Structure formats: structure tokens, C-alpha cells
Amino acid sequence: MSAISIKKLNKFYDSNHVIRDASIEIESNSFTVLVGPSGCGKSTILRMIAGLEDVDSGTISIDGNVVNSLHPKERGIAMVFQSYALYPHMTVFDNIGFGLRLEGQRKHEIEAGVSEAARILKIEDLLDRKPRQLSGGQRQRVAIGRAITRKPKVFLFDEPLSNLDAALRVQMRVELAKLHDQLDATMLYVTHDQTEAMTMADKIIVLDKGEVSQAGAPLELYNSPKNSFVASFIGSPTMNFLKARAVAVTKGSVTIKLLDDLELKIANGDTAVSVDDELTLGVRPENLSLVQAPKAHCTGKVSVVEQLGSQTFLYLETADGPLILEADGSTKIKVGDLAPISFDVKRCHLFNKHHQKI
Amino acid sequence: MKQTVSLAPFASPFAGHVEMSKFRKFLPPFLLLSPSIVLLLTFVHIPAIHTIYLSFFSTPKGRRPSKFKGLENYQDMIADPVFWKVLGNNVIYAITTIPASIIIALIMAQLVNSALPGRPFLRFSFFLPVVLPLIAVGNIWLFFYLPGFGLIDQIGSLFGLPNTNILGSSETVLWGIVGVSIWKESGFYMIFFLAALQGIPRDLKEAAYIEGASNWQIFRRITLPLITPTILFISVIATINAFIRIEHLFSMTQGGPNYNSALLLYYLYENAFVFWDTAYAIAQSVFLIVLLSIIGIGQIFLMDRRVHYQ
């Protein structure tokens, strides 16, 4: 059963239509990531689920109950804010126990709840401190601790790692994933960082201008993006896009011609394509390779070499347009060299002029 | 510290040099502070100390120069029943206007900080009394209080209430003054509260809201603790104002009837510039300075433990 089921959700700010007919299913106990560029409406959806924003049309159900008009505390959710939103005048103990205190729980129940959360997050020795005496990572834990004590059905995370430095972010990513296993709870996580989405999610929902662009498992989105937006958003460095034209269509494949008359035969399903259609060829950096000259599809002049150790990214200028190619870490190629390039035609994507995958 | 360390290679074993380096260390900050120090000394501290000195002398009159009287001026003050009456008035005036104007200011700030329709108009109307001079405010309220024709009696007559003479009667005149002060000061304090409220991140209130806090609980447990520095600041300002803002007395009651609406500074003014008993007025000034210092310092010490600084 879905923990959260959103149907035909719409939201307007004045005349801005910020969420357009969004329908989302979030499975119980899953770690689902809402991802998209800034301004795509991902935080708005999260805030609507939390009950901080009104729903203009559509329904939000949590555990089968429509919650559109319920108070946040009746929805069974807990939220972790980007800023952590810790109460600066309270100790860590009081911050974590605030919700329990509001529920009118007894002192020993509050103490039990707080120490349970502190134990899970390993912050037992910080309980007497004020938030300003904590580091970013510790504040983050306290904010999560505050969510845990309320034993919610759904945890909502609003870009919780974006205020942390890079190293800590990687560490917290692992810890959040562990926490998800440990608590066995449904988590909905909003981020603009596709790496966070890829590494943590069971399911990714990509939003584009208030619409759900595609939803699915991380590798499903990576390997078979439905449109060029998802193709470009997921994966780093981003997918290469080249202008192309269909020159021959057979069952199961399309032959395309690139700008410099290079012809490639690309495997394709049975979506309608006709000869002379304007298309876009999408190919990921790792599906391009450096080969010996006779086997090459084309050559490109190396303009930038990015060496990451385990792999090297080459920025190439070709007659078909700019390309990024992933070579292995030991490549000796230098800026200004001419690189012979080969396309892995089994792993190329074709998009029509409406940016949909064909 | 850093400077001393960097000078170390040049330091000689002679003590004179150590003195020199200390002097060098303190000279630049002292020079930078000196304009404010000079201004403060000239216009605040030296006159204040001079006032204390003068309070031990008699009032100079024509051919009779002032002579040392010791504590006589203070003894006169303690023996003066009008002084005690006026001080009593001022205490009542302070303990009513300060809490009332702070609470009203906080309520108004909350109102104009929420998403109400017509918010700019509300802000404007709450702030309007602040830009009016207090002496003009006194004049306006004089008309409100006018027996028979004033706004208050006009409204009262709609409900069949009898005419009032708020400023003319000994029992009510002080309350008439208190009302004017609250009306005038609340808008000013509102601005500070509004700034403080807007400094509270929205996330905090949202987090509390999600955790099930009611509006009152959010106010009591989140908002109020976070604006305590502003409350302390305003209560100190308001205390000082309760003793030094007396312009409305000039346009409304001249302290009457029978000193029932006179405040300390008004009585001091009268002694100094109406009766020309400057020595007595100076003694009262010293009393006022000491009183305000004690209250101000006391407020800061008393409230400091409860104030949360970010």
C-alpha cells in the first residue's frame, strides 16, 4: 500500500501555476526522493504534504486517509527543515522533547522518548547544550531527533544536507540511509542534488516546472529517461546532446545523420519516427570511448581535461557539437590533441522535437 | 596581544620599553574613541558631575552669590510634601504606562506582522502618533477630553452616559495623562517589536506548528523568549520616557489641578524656571539621575538571566 498518495495536485501563487496536476505514489517504508532544479515546486509539494501550504485542488492521502484539511499534527508526519529550525533558546533536550511536551506527556515519558532518539543518533552527550554550541552535523542530528520522537508514519526532509560541507554531506547521506533501515519508516526527501537522489533513493520523482517528469528507481531513470529533461538532470557530468535527423527507419532501429553527415544506426522501440524527423541524440559520457582511428565514428579536439584519478573527463569539440567523454584515469591525452571517438550505439537515446524519448 | 608578540624582537630588557609598547598598543584605539569620549564628557558626564557639585550650594540671587549649604537642598526636598506627591504620581504613571504600552505595542506588532488585509493602513495608523510631537498630541487629547463637547463625551452620550471632566477632577486627571502617554508611546515600541518579530525565522514557527503547538503556545514558547532582548530594551527606554516625557503636561494640565497630574520633571521645571529656585531644582535633578540609573541597572540585572541573546 502507498504511504502517501497524491492525486491531481494543483497549487497557484496568485496567477502562477506552480504545481500542475501532480500525481505521486510513495510506497510504505520506501525512501523516496523528490528532485528537480530550484523553482520546480518540490518544496511546495513537501510543504503541502506537511500541511504548511493549502491545496488548491487534488487530494493528498496518508495511509489511505485524505489529509487535505487536517492539521499537521494529525497527519502523522514529521519534518526536518533545511535550516534545521532548532529553537535557539532551548537546550537539545528541550528541542527534542518539545513535541512530546506539547502532547502533554509526563516527565518520565518525555525523558524516555528523548533518550531513545539521542541513543539512535548518538547525541546523548549533547543534551544539555544550546543549538548555537553545536556544529552543523550535530544540529542536523538534533533536528532528526526531534522528528524521531514523534514516531511519525512519514518523515519529510526538506533539503536537509544543503547547509553542510561536502565531506559531512557524504557522511550524513550514509547515516540517513542507515537510519532509514533502522527505523523502517517512510521517508520523503526533497533535494536539488541529483547525486543525493541517486545514492539514497529507492525511488526518484523528477519534477520539472511543477509537473512530474518521471518517477522510478534510480537506475531506471538513469538508463531509460522518458524525456531529455530527465536525461540531462540525472547523471553527472550531464548527458551529451547532439542535433540529428532521421534518414532511415526500420523495425527496431533508426538510422540518423548528425551535422557532419556521420550516420549512426540506433536501436529503438516501435515509437513512430519517420524519415527526415528532427531528432536529438543523447549519449552519456561513459558511452563514448577513445578508440584506434579506424574504428572511430568521428574525431574531436580536446579542449579541457578533468582528471579525477579513477576516471578522466575530456571536453571535446567535434563537428557534431561539443561532447564530454569519460576515459579511464590513466589516459595520457592532452589539451589540443585530436581524439578518435566511438559511440556505443546500443546505449544512445533519441528524443523527438517535443523532448520525448522515442 | 598579537602586536606585543610581533614587537618582541625589538623589545629591550629595559622596563621603559615595555611601558612604551603598552602605550603604543593602547594609543590607536584611544585615538579612535576620543571624538566620542570628548563629546560624551563635554555634554553628559562633566555637566552631570557639575550638577551634583552645584546641588550642595544655594540659589544665587542678584547681589547674593551662592554659598555652600551641604545637604540642605536635599533636606528641603525630603520635607516637601509636593515633591512626594509628584513622585507618587510619577510612580503610578510609570507602572501603568510602561506595561500597558508594551503589551499594546506587542499586540499591534503581532497584528501588523500577520497577513491581515489592509496591513499597510494598520501600520500607518499605529505609527501615526509617533510622528506627532507630544505637545501637539496633548492638544488633540485636550479636545477628546473636553467636557460636554469632546470626543469621549460625544461617544458617551450615545450610550446615555453622563458628561465627564477627566482633566478637571483630581481623581481622574492622572489617568487622563496616562491614556495620552500609552496612545503616544505604543506605536513607537511597536516598531521595535515588529523588527524583532520579523527577525524570527519562519521555520521555527512552522516547526512548532507541525509539532502541534497552538498559536498561543507558539507565541508563549517560541516568539516571546526570542524577543526578550527587545522587551528588555524597550522596558528600559519606556522607564526613562515615563520620567522625562512631560510635554503633554504643558498643553493639557500644567500639572493641575493641585499637582494631581504633575510629574517629577515637570515639578523640577517649575522650581527651576517658574519659581527660579534653581538650587532646589538641581537637587531634584540629581535625585532623578540617581533614580533612573538605579532602575535601569536594576532592570538589566534582573532580566538578564531571562533574556535570550542569539
Interface predicted TM-score of the whole assembly (ipTM), two decimals: 0.83
Query: What burial class does residue A148 get, using C-beta atoms within 10 Å of its C-beta: 0-12 exposed, 13-18 middle, 19+ buried?
Result: buried
Task: For cell 509526563, name the residue.
Answer: A106
Closest chain A residue to the Cα of B210, Cα to Cα: A72
Q: Are residues B7 and B81 in the same domain?
A: no
Quick check: do A2-233 and A240-351 share a fold?
no
- A192 bridge partner residues: none
Alpha-carbon separation of residue A231 from A24, A222, A251, A323 (angstroms): 20, 7, 24, 15
- Residues B108, B182, single domain; the answer is yes
CATH class of A240-351: mainly beta
Domain extents in chain A: 2-233, 240-351
Q: For residues A1 and A208, give the distance between their C-alpha atoms in angstroms, rounded to a whole number.
A: 26
Residue A52: its chain B contacts at CB < 8 A? 206, 209-210
Domain assignment present for B66: no
**Nearest-Cα residue of chain B relative to residue A50:** B210
Pairing outcome for strands A154-158 and A186-191:
parallel
Cβ-contact B230, B193 below 8 angstroms? yes
Q: Do B83 and B33 fall into the same domain?
A: no
Whether B116 and B43 share a structural domain: no
Please check whether residue B265 lies inside any domain of the structure.
yes
Considering only the beta carbons, identify the residue of B203, B222, B225 that sits closest to A81: B203
> Rounded CA gap, A152 and B2, in Å?
54
> Cβ B310–A79 below 8 Å, yes or no?
no
Which residues lie below 8 Å from residue A37, measured CB to CB, with a gap of 6+? A192, A208, A233
We report the CATH number of the domain holding residue B279 as: 1.10.3720.10
Q: What residues contact residue B251 under an 8 Å CB cut-off, 6+ apart?
A: B135, B136, B138, B139, B142
Q: pLDDT tens per residue, chain A (358 residues)?
A: 578 989 998 999 888 898 989 899 999 999 999 999 988 889 999 999 999 999 999 999 998 889 998 998 888 899 999 989 999 999 999 999 999 998 888 999 999 999 999 988 888 899 999 999 998 889 989 999 999 998 888 999 999 888 888 888 888 888 888 889 888 889 999 999 998 899 999 999 999 998 999 999 999 999 999 999 999 999 889 999 999 988 888 887 888 888 887 888 887 766 678 888 888 999 999 999 998 888 888 889 999 999 998 999 999 999 888 999 999 888 888 899 899 999 998 889 988 888 888 8
**Cβ of A93 under 8 Å from any chain B Cβ?**
no
**Per-residue pLDDT in tens (0 to 9) along chain B, 310 residues:** 444 444 444 444 555 555 667 788 888 889 999 999 999 999 999 998 999 998 898 888 878 888 888 888 898 889 899 999 999 999 999 999 999 999 999 999 998 888 778 888 888 888 888 899 999 999 999 999 988 888 888 888 888 888 888 888 888 899 999 999 999 999 999 999 999 999 999 999 999 999 988 989 999 999 999 999 899 899 989 999 999 989 989 988 888 788 889 999 999 999 989 988 888 999 999 999 999 999 888 888 887 777 776 5
Check: pTM over 0.90? Answer yes or no: no
Is the omega angle on the peptide bond into residue B257 within 30 degrees of 0, that is, cis? yes
Q: Are residue B262 and residue B192 in the same domain, yes or no?
A: yes
Taking chain A, what is the end-to-end CA distance rounded to the nearest angstrom?
A: 32
Tell me, yes or no, whether B12 and B91 share the same domain: no
Angle CA B129–B44–B28, to nearest 5: 115
Contacts of B207 in chain A (CB under 8 A): 79, 81, 85, 87, 146
Residue type, B129: P
- Does the CB of A314 have a partner CB in chain B at under 8 Å? no
Count of CB atoms situated within 10 Å of the CB of B50:
11
**Closest chain A residue by Cα to residue B225:** A89
Residue B300 and residue B217 in one domain: yes
**Which residues, 6+ apart, have CB-to-CB distance to B14 below 8 Å?**
none
Domain spanning A2-233: which superfamily? P-loop containing nucleotide triphosphate hydrolases (3.40.50.300)
Terminal CA-CA length for chain B: 28
Residues B36 and B172 in one domain: no
Distance CA B168, CA A84 (A): 59
List, in sequence order, every residue forming a beta bridge with A257; answer none if it has no partner.
A245, A263
What does the block give as the cell for A55? 491545496
Give the residue from B217, B206, B210, B215 showing the smallest Cα distance to A150.
Answer: B210
How many Å apart are CA A298 and CA A289, to the nearest integer? 11
Q: How far apart, in whole angstroms, are the C-alpha atoms of residue B193 and residue B232? A: 11
Q: Which residues pair with A170 in a beta bridge?
A: none
Q: Which residues, including other chains, have CB under 8 Å from residue B225's CB and lie 6 or more apart?
A: A89, B308
Please state, as a whole number, how many other Cβ atoms lie within 10 Å of the Cβ of residue B16: 8
What residue of B is the nearest CA neighbor of A49? B210
Residues B195 and B234 in one domain: yes
Quote the domain boundaries for residue B285: 72-304
A316: contact with B, CB 8 A cutoff: no
Is the distance from CB of B218 to CB of B209 less than 8 angstroms? yes
User: In terms of domains, do B153 and B219 share one?
Assistant: yes
- Report chain B's C-alpha Rg in angstroms: 26
DSSP string, B222-270: IIHHHTHHHHHHHHHHHHHHHHH--HHHHHHTTT-STTTT--HHHHHHH
- Measured in angstroms, the CA of A86 and the nearest CA of chain B are apart by 7
Q: Which residues pair with A65 in a beta bridge?
A: A62
Q: Do B210 and A88 touch (CB under 8 A)?
A: no
> Do B109 and B174 have their domain in common?
yes
In a domain, B156, yes or no: yes
Q: Give the total number of structural domains in chain B.
A: 2
Q: How many CB pairs under 8 A join A and B?
A: 55
Instruction: Count how many Cα atoms sit within 13 Å of the Cα of residue B42 in the half-sphere of its side chain.
Output: 6
In this complex, the residue of A82, A83, A102 whose CB is nearest that of residue B211 is A102
Left, alpha or beta for A321 (phi > 0: left; psi -120 to 50: alpha)? left
**Residue that the C-alpha cell 533502522 belongs to:** A182
From B215's Cα to the closest Cα of chain A, the distance in A is: 12
My answer on whether B230 and B170 are in the same domain is yes
pLDDT of residue A269: 67
State the smallest CA–CA distance between residue B214 and chain A in angstroms.
Answer: 9
In order of A86, A98, B230, B238, B304, the CA distances from B307 in angstroms are: 18, 20, 9, 17, 5
E strands, chain A, in order: 2-13, 16-27, 31-35, 57-62, 65-66, 77-80, 154-158, 186-191, 203-208, 211-216, 240-250, 253-258, 263-267, 278-283, 288-290, 298-307, 311-318, 321-328, 338-343, 349-351
Query: What is the least distance, in Å, from the CA of A169 to any CA of chain B?
Result: 21
Say if residues A356 and A340 touch (Cβ distance below 8 Å). Answer: no
Report the alpha-carbon distance of residue B47 to residue B53 in Å, rounded: 10
Phi, psi dihedrals of residue B2, rounded to the nearest 5°: -55, -40
The answer to whether A87 contacts B217, with C-beta atoms less than 8 Å apart, is: no
Would B310 be classed as within a structural domain? no
Selected residue of A62, A81, A105, A146 to mutate for chain B interface (largest B Cβ count, 10 A)? A81
Contact call for residues A20 and A209 (beta carbons, < 8 A): yes
Structure confidence by residue, pLDDT tens digits, A206-236: 999 989 999 999 999 999 999 999 999 998 8
